[in-house]
């Protein structure tokens, strides 16, 4: 399984140049059955990353471009009266896919946003009194432009909590950008993409991630980190127990990607900025907390 995962990472890196760390994070998020929020400027490869991930994992993929006039039914689906049969027939919306890319999620109205986020949490949708399960595995990647852009509805904290991780892609480095500029068109390359993993294998990997060993000393450290976030004057409020569970799940998936059967403190340290970044608010209420800033804050906690 380890080999398969490595292949997935390699193949994806082939398309998204110089972003192996972010690819690993996205994959870990998927393995931990979480949803991913990518926050960055347009054009840095958010959509391509989602495309490639879906393709390489052999998952059904739908994309929804969020706009301010998007309605919940546009995502979830509608029942339409069919005259021939005299019955209503359900036309599933784009959410009925294994990987859903919610592009620019902060452009939609809060009502539409919450329809998506509820579906993410419940992994099922209820339309006109009928509950329909969503396919499995189910993975939402939402992208968001930095919220200070005009005409956006930033996601409230309670909704941000639905995402396991928030990552940024950032500009490629010099070499990667040169390779991108000199290479072929990425969209053409996508057609040649072949899956490296079956959905069954993915579910198996998700199962394996939950089996990764967590030792008592590691839980001590995790609790110390949570405690620190609650006592530190730098944050308005500390991390919730759900955030603690999220961090642990993500660290397990990360350890699995690293080929380890146990979680190390370093795993928590690596993932903390991405898991906690969108859940913590700086007390001085300036710019949102960056990954390096967060890492620096939590470096005050000694490993017990």
CA triple 57-25-190, angle to 5 deg: 40
| CB nearer other proteins, residue 80 or residue 237 | 237
What one-character DSSP code corresponds to residue 282?
A: B
| CB nearer other proteins, residue 31 or residue 301 | 301
Q: Which of 80, 179, 215, 237 binds other proteins (CB under 8 A)?
A: 215
Question: Per-residue x/- marks for other proteins, 217-246, CB under 8 A?
Answer: xx--------------xx------------
Instruction: Report CA Rg, the chain.
Output: 20
Q: Which residue has the tokens 């192996």?
A: 20
- Based on the shown chain and the rule CB under 8 A, indicate whether residue 213 belongs to the binding site for other proteins: yes
Q: Which of 96, 138, 254, 298 binds other proteins (CB under 8 A)?
A: 298
For residue 229, give the nearest of 268, 260, 187 by alpha carbon: 268
Please give the torsion angle defined by the CA atoms of residues 202, 205, 207 and 213, in that order, rounded to the nearest 10 degrees: -160
In DSSP notation, 191-211 reads HT---SS-HHHHHHHHHHHHT
Cα distance between residue 77 and residue 229, in whole Å: 41
Q: Write down the least CB distance from residue 254 to other proteins, Å.
A: 12
- Based on the shown chain and the rule CB under 8 A, indicate whether residue 299 belongs to the binding site for other proteins: yes
Q: Which of 263, 275, 276, 294 binds other proteins (CB under 8 A)?
A: 263
- Which phi-psi region, left, alpha or beta, contains residue 152 (left: φ > 0; alpha: ψ -120 to 50)? beta
The number of angstroms, rounded, from the C-alpha of 8 to the middle of its chain's C-alpha atoms is 17
The H-assigned helical ranges of the chain are 2-15, 20-31, 46-56, 72-76, 110-122, 157-160, 174-182, 186-191, 199-210, 216-231, 241-257, 265-276, 291-298
Residues in binding contact with other proteins, number by CB under 8 A: 22
- Which phi-psi region, left, alpha or beta, contains residue 232 (left: φ > 0; alpha: ψ -120 to 50)? beta
What one-character DSSP code corresponds to residue 258?
A: T
Q: Which of 269, 288, 291, 293 binds other proteins (CB under 8 A)?
A: 269
Q: Write down the least CB distance from residue 234 to other proteins, Å.
A: 6
Task: Find the part of the chain contacting other proteins (CB under 8 A) among 73-81, 127-135, 151-159, 280-288.
Answer: 280-288
Task: Find the part of the chain contacting other proteins (CB under 8 A) among 133-141, 143-151, 164-172, 264-272.
Answer: 264-272
Cα distance between residue 12 and residue 48, in whole Å: 10
| CB nearer other proteins, residue 188 or residue 285 | 285
- Based on the shown chain and the rule CB under 8 A, indicate whether residue 292 belongs to the binding site for other proteins: no
Please give the torsion angle defined by the CA atoms of residues 224, 230, 232 and 235, in that order, rounded to the nearest 10 degrees: 130
Q: Which of 154, 264, 291, 293 binds other proteins (CB under 8 A)?
A: 264
Q: Write down the least CB distance from residue 291 to other proteins, Å.
A: 16
- Based on the shown chain and the rule CB under 8 A, indicate whether residue 303 belongs to the binding site for other proteins: yes
Q: Write down the least CB distance from residue 272 to other proteins, Å.
A: 11
Q: Which of 71, 227, 262, 287 binds other proteins (CB under 8 A)?
A: 262
Q: Write down the least CB distance from residue 282 to other proteins, Å.
A: 7
Q: Write down the least CB distance from residue 213 to other proteins, Å.
A: 4
Residues near other proteins (CB under 8 A) are 213, 215, 217-218, 233-234, 261-266, 269, 282-284, 298-303
């Amino acid at each position: 399984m380890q080999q398969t995962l490595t292949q997935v990472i390699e193949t994806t890196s082939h398309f998204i140049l110089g972003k192996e760390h972010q690819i690993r994070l996205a994959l870990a998020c998927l393995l931990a059955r979480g949803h991913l929020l990518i926050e960055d400027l347009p054009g840095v490869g958010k959509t391509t990353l989602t495309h490639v991930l879906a393709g390489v994992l052999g998952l059904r993929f739908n994309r929804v471009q969020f706009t301010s006039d998007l309605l919940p039914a546009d995502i979830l689906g509608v029942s339409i009266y069919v005259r021939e049969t005299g019955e209503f027939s359900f036309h599933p919306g784009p959410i009925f896919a294994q990987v859903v890319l919610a592009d620019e999620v902060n452009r939609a109205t809060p009502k539409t946003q919450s329809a998506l986020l509820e579906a993410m949490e419940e992994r099922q949708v209820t339309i006109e009194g009928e509950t329909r399960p969503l396919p499995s595995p189910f993975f939402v990647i939402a992208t968001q432009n930095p919220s200070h852009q005009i005409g956006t509805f930033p996601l409230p904290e309670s909704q941000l909590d639905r995402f396991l991780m928030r990552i940024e892609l950032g500009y490629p480095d010099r070499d990667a950008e040169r390779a991108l500029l000199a290479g072929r068109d990425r969209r053409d390359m996508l057609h040649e993409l072949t899956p490296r993993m079956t959905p069954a294998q993915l579910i198996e990997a998700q199962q394996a991630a939950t089996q990764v060993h967590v030792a008592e000393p590691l839980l001590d450290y995790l609790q110390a980190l949570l405690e620190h976030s609650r006592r530190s004057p730098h944050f308005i409020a500390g991390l919730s127990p759900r955030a603690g569970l999220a961090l642990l799940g993500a660290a397990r998936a990360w350890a699995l990607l690293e080929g380890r059967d146990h979680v190390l403190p370093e795993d928590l340290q690596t993932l903390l900025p991405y898991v906690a970044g969108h859940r913590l608010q700086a007390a001085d209420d300036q710019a949102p907390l960056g990954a390096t800033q967060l890492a620096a804050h939590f470096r005050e906690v000694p490993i017990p």
